[in-house]
């Protein structure tokens, strides 16, 4: 028994010596706890020994630890939402540090429904704000594509097509409501100018439905526009210009250059002016310089025969040679002023965008005027108008078929021709100006330059929105506001299909005497939102704050559309619905809606 007790005492003595040997080393390290203004621990705070690269992070309990002491050093602490601050060690081994809230973080004001301003911390739903200046540093064609990567939970899928609307997805749902200065607008994302945006507040999830009704069920993007200069009395002028070049595709498919057009290793263009039989893609003979009748082989009109020419791969870079560099040029000038009882800002922007396909371009003008005027100490008048005009003679069609350049070059293309030899798309002997195109394949695809300059899709839109508002200060803390807003646009798109066009991969492939088609689509929208709001806001000495809002709104909406198409043009090149071989087809549709809310 004594021997066992002796062994236990020896073991305890050895363990004690081990602990004493370890403890001094650990106790000499630097440790601490980081908390917020309310005393709660903060996780993830970066703690750096100033002047060195030695750093660590706080754990979920706000604790941090350095193995060394650093008695004469200074700690630098930083974390999102808090001021970066320095804390001297001054020989202490265990520190307690309180972080200071970042300026503007806890008391940041955001704009919610109906133009109501609230402190960020008092909003009971997820909201995030983006400054307008962040949308103009690296320009995008529209203001909303610039949100990509700036808002948590929001995915912005930039449309790769020219003048395509970006897709905004918030937590898996689409179609977010767009609100400008407290009033919902109908937006194609192009009628809001990034140069006029002061900030964007993104209301996420269905909570926005409680603010804007069923239209806000997928969330809302609430935009506050810039006002006049507040720095000093008098006018201030601002000019912003940017130009960006778009090189287009990052990667282009690599064409095979061994086999040419045809099937079963056979191909011949034939002796006719055009070829309808050998229209299949690259399943023809090897391109080894052998003599083959081709689309541009010498043709004798007198004898009706074609002389074979060497069959070679000369178009490996056809798509690259056909494309051009895209361009986005934006110019904005704004004038602003303010005084003791007024505020006014005027802004004009012009956007020019050139597509990567020839003869594709967009011009857009945007005029924005906003003004506030206090009639007296109780009554203030506000107004805003935004005019957006879009005009382009041609927007490319990227659908699958002969009207798609990708289809033409990468799906059914081949390298036995050089696309640059097709620039004169009415050249003889096969081309007839205004009636028949010259192309390397009359069975499936059109001459790409013929498509670019003759098969046109126009887009012309006039978009207008604005509001009038009266604010009345009934008594201290109690205000009433009456506002009416209108958003309206008129859109006309048309399609001019020239004579001799190959319409699709089925029928008609091509036939003589077809003079083309004309299609026209007109759409008009008119929406009015009016609301009356009474707001009460009272701050008490004990720190409590009471806010209450009572009001109602009414919305009227009407939409109409018209679509007409000819049934083959009677006279080629005259694009009018009345120029139809048989009576033109016409369709129209309309809708109306009234919504009252409280």
Which of the four pLDDT bands, split at 50, 70 and 90, describes residue 468? very high
Residue (of 278, 340, 339) closest to 311 by Cα position: 278
What's residue 18's pLDDT? Answer: 43
- Tell me the mean pLDDT in the region 46-64: 84
What's residue 28's pLDDT? Answer: 62
Number of Cβ within a 10 Å radius of residue 343: 19
Choose between 523 and 293: higher pLDDT: 523
3-state SS record for 483-496: EEEEEEEEEEEEEE
What does the radius of gyration of the chain's CA atoms come to, in whole angstroms? 35
Q: Which residues pair with 369 in a beta bridge?
A: 346, 385
* CA angle (376 as vertex; 375, 381 as ends), nearest 5: 35
- Tell me the mean pLDDT in the region 346-369: 93
**DSSP letters of 279-336?**
---B-S-B-SS-EE--TTS-EETTTTEE--EE-----TTHHHHH---EEEEEEEEEEE
* CA angle (114 as vertex; 111, 119 as ends), nearest 5: 30
Residue 568 has pLDDT above 60, yes or no: yes
Choose between 363 and 132: higher pLDDT: 363
Q: What is the pTM of this model?
A: 0.73
Delimit the CATH 2.60.40.1120 region(s) of the chain: 23-98
- Tell me the mean pLDDT in the region 531-549: 84
What's residue 545's pLDDT? Answer: 81
Residue 524 has pLDDT above 50, yes or no: yes
What's residue 263's pLDDT? Answer: 80
Q: Which residues pair with 311 in a beta bridge?
A: none
Query: What is the rounded CA–CA span in Å between residue 557 and residue 488?
Result: 10
What's residue 495's pLDDT? Answer: 94
Delimit the CATH 2.170.130.10 region(s) of the chain: 109-225
- Tokens (6 digits) for 401: 């078929």
Residues 349 and 328 sit within 8 Å (Cβ to Cβ): no
Residues 250 and 344 sit within 8 Å (Cβ to Cβ): no
What's residue 65's pLDDT? Answer: 87
Report the CATH architecture of 23-98. Answer: Sandwich (2.60)
* CA angle (420 as vertex; 503, 430 as ends), nearest 5: 55
What's residue 21's pLDDT? Answer: 42
Which of the four pLDDT bands, split at 50, 70 and 90, describes residue 127? low
Share of the chain above pLDDT 90, in %: 31
- Phi, psi (5° rounding) for residue 255? -80, 145
Class of domain 109-225: mainly beta
Choose between 5 and 170: higher pLDDT: 170
Residue 164 has pLDDT above 80, yes or no: no
Which of the four pLDDT bands, split at 50, 70 and 90, describes residue 133? low
Residue (of 520, 527, 529) closest to 577 by Cα position: 520
What's residue 112's pLDDT? Answer: 55
Number of Cβ within a 10 Å radius of residue 542: 5
Choose between 49 and 563: higher pLDDT: 563
Task: State the DSSP code for 82.
Answer: B
- Tokens (6 digits) for 493: 């798109």
Choose between 108 and 466: higher pLDDT: 466
Which of the four pLDDT bands, split at 50, 70 and 90, describes residue 10? very low
- pLDDT, one tens digit per residue, over 478-518 is 999 999 999 999 999 999 999 988 775 444 444 556 789 99
- Tokens (6 digits) for 438: 């010259």
- Phi, psi (5° rounding) for residue 185? -130, 160
Residue 156 has pLDDT above 80, yes or no: no
Lowest mean pLDDT among 158-162, 412-416, 463-467, 477-481: 158-162
Residue 413 has pLDDT above 90, yes or no: no
- Tokens (6 digits) for 148: 């990509």
Which of the four pLDDT bands, split at 50, 70 and 90, describes residue 314? very high
Which of the four pLDDT bands, split at 50, 70 and 90, describes residue 16? very low
- Tokens (6 digits) for 21: 């040997």
Q: Which residues pair with 428 in a beta bridge?
A: none
What's residue 443's pLDDT? Answer: 65
Task: State the DSSP code for 397.
Answer: -
Residue 342 has pLDDT above 90, yes or no: no
What's residue 504's pLDDT? Answer: 59
Task: State the DSSP code for 259.
Answer: B
Residue (of 87, 270, 255, 112) closest to 182 by Cα position: 112
3-state SS record for 429-456: CCCECCCECCCCCCCCCCCHHHHHHHCE
Residues 283 and 387 sit within 8 Å (Cβ to Cβ): no
Burial class (CB in 10 A: 0-12, 13-18, 19+), 570: middle
**Strand pairing report for 94-98 and 30-35:** parallel
Which of the four pLDDT bands, split at 50, 70 and 90, describes residue 280? low
- Tell me the mean pLDDT in the region 94-105: 74
What's residue 26's pLDDT? Answer: 39
- Tell me the mean pLDDT in the region 177-182: 84
Query: What is the rounded CA–CA span in Å between residue 220 and residue 206?
Result: 9
Q: Is the link from the previous residue into 508 a cis peptide, with omega within 30 of 0? A: yes
Q: If phi over 0 gives left and psi between -120 and 50 gives alpha, with beta otherwise, what is residue 422?
A: alpha
User: Please, what is the average pLDDT of the chain?
Assistant: 81
Measure CA of the first residue to CA of the last residue in the chain; give whole Å.
89
Lowest mean pLDDT among 50-64, 76-90, 211-225, 498-512: 498-512
């Amino acid at each position: 028994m004594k021997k066992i007790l002796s062994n236990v005492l020896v073991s305890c003595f050895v363990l004690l010596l081990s602990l004493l040997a370890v403890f001094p080393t650990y106790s000499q390290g630097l440790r601490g706890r980081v908390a917020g203004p309310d005393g709660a621990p903060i996780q993830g705070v970066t703690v750096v020994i100033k002047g060195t690269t030695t750093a660590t992070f706080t754990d979920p309990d706000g604790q941090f630890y350095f193995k060394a002491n650093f008695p004469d050093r200074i700690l630098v602490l930083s974390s999102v939402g808090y001021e970066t601050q320095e804390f001297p060690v001054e020989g202490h081994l265990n520190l307690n540090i309180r972080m200071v809230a970042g300026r503007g973080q806890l008391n940041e004001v955001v704009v919610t429904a109906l133009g109501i301003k609230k402190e960020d911390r008092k909003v009971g739903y997820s909201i995030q704000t983006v400054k307008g200046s962040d949308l103009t540093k690296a320009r995008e064609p529209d203001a909303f594509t610039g949100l990509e990567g700036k808002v948590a939970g929001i995915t912005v899928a930039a449309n790769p097509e020219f003048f395509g609307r970006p897709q905004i997805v918030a937590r898996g749902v689409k179609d977010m409501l767009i609100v400008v200065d407290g009033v919902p607008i109908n937006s194609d994302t192009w009628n809001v100018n990034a140069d006029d945006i002061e900030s964007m507040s993104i209301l996420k999830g269905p909570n926005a439905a409680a603010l804007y009704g069923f239209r806000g069920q997928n969330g809302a993007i609430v935009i506050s526009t810039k006002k006049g200069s507040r720095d000093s009395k008098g006018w201030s002028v601002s000019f912003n210009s940017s130009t960006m070049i778009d090189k287009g595709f990052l990667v282009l498919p690599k064409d095979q250059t061994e086999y040419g057009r045809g099937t079963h290793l056979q191909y011949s263009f034939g002796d006719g002016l055009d070829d309808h039989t050998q229209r299949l893609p690259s399943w023809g003979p090897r391109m080894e310089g052998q003599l083959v009748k081709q689309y541009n082989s010498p043709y004798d009109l007198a004898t009706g025969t074609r002389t074979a020419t060497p069959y070679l791969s000369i178009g490996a870079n056809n798509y690259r040679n056909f494309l051009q560099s895209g361009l986005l040029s934006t110019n904005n000038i704004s004038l602003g002023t303010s005084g003791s009882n007024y505020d006014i800002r005027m802004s004009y922007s012009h956007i020019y965008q050139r597509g990567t396909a020839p003869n594709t371009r967009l011009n857009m003008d945007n005029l924005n005027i906003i003004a506030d005027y206090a009639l007296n100490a109780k009554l203030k008048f506000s107004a805003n108008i935004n005019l957006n005009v879009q005009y382009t003679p041609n927007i490319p069609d990227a659908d699958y078929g002969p009207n798609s350049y990708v289809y033409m070059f990468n799906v059914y293309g081949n390298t036995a021709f050089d696309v640059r030899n097709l620039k004169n798309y009415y050249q003889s002997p096969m081309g007839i100006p205004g009636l028949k195109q010259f192309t390397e394949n009359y069975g499936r695809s059109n001459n790409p330059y013929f498509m670019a300059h003759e098969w046109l899709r126009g887009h012309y839109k006039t978009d207008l929105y604005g509001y009038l508002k009266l604010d009345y200060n009934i008594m201290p803390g109690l205000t009433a506001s009456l506002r009416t807003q209108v958003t309206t646009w008129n859109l006309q798109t048309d399609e001019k299909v020239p004579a001799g066009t190959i319409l699709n991969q089925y029928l008609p492939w091509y036939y003589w005497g077809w003079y083309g088609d004309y299609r026209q689509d007109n759409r008009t929208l008119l929406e009015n939102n009016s609301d009356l709001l009474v707001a009460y806001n009272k701050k008490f000495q004990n720190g409590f704050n009471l806010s209450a809002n009572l009001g109602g709104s009414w919305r009227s909406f009407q939409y109409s559309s018209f679509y007409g198409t000819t049934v083959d043009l009677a006279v080629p090149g005259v694009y009018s619905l009345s120029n139809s071989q048989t009576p033109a087809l016409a369709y129209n549709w309309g809708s109306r809606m009234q919504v009252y809310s409280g």
